[in-house]
Structure 1
Amino acid sequence: MTPAVQAMQRSDAQNPAMLWVAQGSELWKASPGPHRPACAACHTGGMAGVSARYPAFSDELKRPVTLPQQINHCRTTRQDQPAWRHDSEALLSLAAYLGQQSRGRPIQPPQDPRLVPWQQAGEALYRLRMGQLNLSCAQCHEERAGLKLAGAVIPSGLATGYPIYRLEWQGMGSLPRRLLNCTTGVRAAPLSEDELTQVELYLMQRGRGLAVETPAVRP
């Protein structure tokens, strides 16, 4: 990140992602339909620190879920509404609003043995050479972090600020969108939803103790 991008992220007045946070705040307080509870009606104690603990294991679904997946689960089961599509403005906005409430808090993945097989599978995918270019995530984001690829600095692959505003996208995007961009870049088959969750679990474990930056800004 250049100093200008860092400054943009630090200032709520300049950070374009705050537009999505504001929309998420309205969605949080609004009833989604007649006689349907708003999110705020159930979650009265505030959500500070919640996004720092996701993905987490869902007792209802019997599997790990990401924060956007949990939002959609609440939406379909508690509010009787259709799930939002992946990377929709509404889902990104609500996830950004919840993430912003954990900003500055350390990432603390749950110490849940049920998550371990998924985390291990996520690390295996992270280190797996894939696609026609035969590259792994680790080769770029560990071995070559700080070097340049096509003029851009290779980051260290720490997912501390999602959903993020990317200047390249001119909008907000999720971690799965970024991961799928990478698999496309190495000309590999897209990861499945389960595989995306596995990689996210590993990345959160890898980032344990780092501060939540949501909503982050990236080039």
Structure 2
Amino acid sequence: MKAGLALLSAFCLTACGDVVADTKSPPAQPQPLQSGYEFLQPQTQALQDDDFANPGFLWIDRGEALFSTATASGSACSECHTDASLPLAGAAAHYPKIDAESGDLINLEGRINLCRTRHQNEAAFEYESDELLSLTAYVAYLSRGTPISVDIEGAAADWYARGRDYFETRRGQFNLSCTQCHDDNWGKKLRGDTISQGHGTGFPAYRLEWQSLGSLHRRLRDCDAGVRAEPRPYGSDDYLAVELYLAKRAEGLEIETPGVRR
């Protein structure tokens, strides 16, 4: 662990240098846009590509079963969401988005929980619970191959700005911002891994480090912990804002849930 921290510290000093954040002139986003898939080792890419071997499909299967199972109140998601009425194919590509009723920014997990509380008279699932991960992964899987396209106008504009600011602000004992790695140094090596552009196209994703499926917010918490900053709670406004910023930043890339990552 100490060796890993030393390597990260060395990377901060050599690769990042004395980068000065300028909120008036944000750094240029990576071009061309590349999914995190492009930075994986060939064997990990092969694992994601094989729907029979990809471990994320264990959660897809659970999510599909939950989607068609009636809750205690007697209703199932599949009763409303059919091919003829409220189809979900492609829907995940437009989240996070502003909820018309509350005016709040919600991600896919938030939409699923709102459906439970508003339309099924059920309690919301806990963030990162197996049930919520499974349903979120299944709904995102229904949009696999759909290019990401989110709205950052109107009420979403402030959220987008907040997410951009979080992405560009140095934090933690290492005094690093997200942009220093994923905009300024993508494609370079860090502890044997290749730094990606930081897109969330594969989430919920199965990470080999976790040996489990996890949400994008779990990955954001890991990133904050990695620079020795205090991670935000799951579902926090900060992480929702970052999720919107990342979605806009990745616009045009396709959803690939369930992704496999290192």
1:63-78 to structure 2, matched below 5 A, reads: 63-78=104-119
- Asked if 1 retains the 8 angstrom alpha-carbon contact of 2:152 and 2:160, the reply is no
Shift of 1:58: 0.2
Q: Superposition pairs for residues 11-22 of structure 1, below 5 Å?
A: 11-22=50-61
User: What is the CA–CA distance in structure 1 between the aligned matches of 2:171 and 2:206, rounded to whole Å?
Assistant: 27
CA offsets, 1:66-115, max 9 Å, x none? 00011111112211111111111110110110111111110011254211
Give the aligned partner of residue 141 of structure 2. Answer: 100
How far does the alpha carbon of each residue in 1:49-80 deviate from its partner, in whole angstroms, 9 at most, with x for none?
Answer: 01000001101221110000111111122111
Aligned match for 1:191, one of 211, 221, 232: 232
Q: What is the letter of the counterpart of residue 162 of structure 1?
A: F
Structure 2: segments with no counterpart, 5+ residues = 1-39
User: Which residue of the other structure, out of 165, 176, 179, is the alignment partner of 1:135?
Assistant: 176
Structure 1 residue runs of 4 or more that deviate by more than 4 Å after TM superposition? none
Q: Quick one: distance in 2 between partners of 1:110 and 1:214?
A: 21
Deviation at 1:40, TM superposition (A): 0.8
C-alpha distance in structure 1 between counterparts of 2:135 and 2:230, whole Å: 29
Q: Identify which range, 153-162 or 35-44, moves more after superposition.
A: 35-44
Counterpart Cα distance in 1 of 2:151 and 2:82: 22
Matches of 1:29 and 1:195 in 2, distance apart?
33
State the Cα distance separating 1:190 from its structure 2 match.
Answer: 2.0
Residue 167 (1) aligns with residue 205 (2): no
Structure 1 residue 8 corresponds to structure 2 residue 51: no
TM-score in terms of structure 2 length: 0.81
Please state if 1:215 is matched with 2:258: yes
Larger Rg: 2
1:40 paired residue number: 78
Give me the identity figure in percent.
44
Q: State the aligned residue count.
A: 218
Conserved 8 A contact 1:36-1:80: no
Instruction: Tell me the TM-score normalised to structure 1 length.
Output: 0.96
Q: Which residue number in structure 2 is paired with residue 29 of structure 1?
A: 68
CA distance in 2, matches of 1:132, 1:11: 40
Shift of 1:10: 1.1
1:120-152 deviation per Cα after TM superposition (whole angstroms, max 9, x unaligned):
110011000011110000001111111122222
Contiguous gaps of at least 5 residues in structure 1: none
Secondary structure of 1:52's counterpart equals helix
SS in 1 for 2:228: coil
SS in 2 for 1:172: strand
